[in-house]
Copies of this chain bind each other. A is one copy, B any other.
């Protein structure tokens, strides 16, 4: 939540700037408009000899659940570089990305998740600071009931389906809020 201007430190108001269509946090003193935009989370379904690299999360949200390596894209990098960096940071593995595999818009949390498919350059892997453990898993061993995020389930399902038919595509979808149990 933006309460103060990043340029001059004065308080901001939430209003529609002239010529704009949406309310923004606008500085009451210098007029600076603070735009907020969705963030990209980039990851990779990376394999070694047919096994898939998965990490068990050491941090919230979803500590203890499994994911493919993925995280927020940083300024100054490409999407492919983000996928490689996250895989090295979380799983200690050097990879080569092959192609984009899946993209998931999650509008209610202002995120877009982008997953590549790729291959480990060498089988070495090790848990990074954000992982409890890292494993190269056969498809049959994937703990589907313990996957951290729905976008990860989405990309893993498409990866396995495409791999089985020997032809990879790019799979786009959108996810809404989970309905709450009554």
| Chain A residues close to B by CB (< 8 Å) | 1-11, 19, 21-22, 34-40, 72-81, 89, 99-100, 103, 105, 107-108, 110, 112, 129, 169-170, 172, 174
Chain B residues positioned under 8 Å from A1 (CB to CB):
6-7
User: Do the beta carbons of B6 and A100 come within 8 Å of each other?
Assistant: no
User: Do the beta carbons of B6 and A4 come within 8 Å of each other?
Assistant: yes
CA distance A108 to B99 in the complex (A): 22
Most buried by B among A1, A38, A79, A170: A38
Known contacts A73-B37, A108-B76, A170-B100, A6 near B7 by CB under 8 Å: no
A7 to chain B, nearest CB (A): 6
Which residue in B6, B73, B103, B129 is a CB contact (below 8 Å) of A2?
Answer: B6
Chain B residues positioned under 8 Å from A7 (CB to CB):
1, 3-4
CA distance A4 to B77 in the complex (A): 25
Chain B residues positioned under 8 Å from A100 (CB to CB):
103, 170, 172
Identify 25 residue pairs between A and B in the complex whose beta-carbon atoms are under 8 Å apart, listed by A's number.
Answer: A1-B6, A3-B6, A4-B4, A4-B5, A4-B6, A6-B34, A19-B129, A22-B74, A35-B72, A37-B72, A37-B73, A37-B75, A38-B75, A40-B40, A76-B107, A76-B110, A78-B105, A78-B107, A79-B105, A79-B112, A80-B105, A100-B103, A100-B172, A169-B170, A170-B170
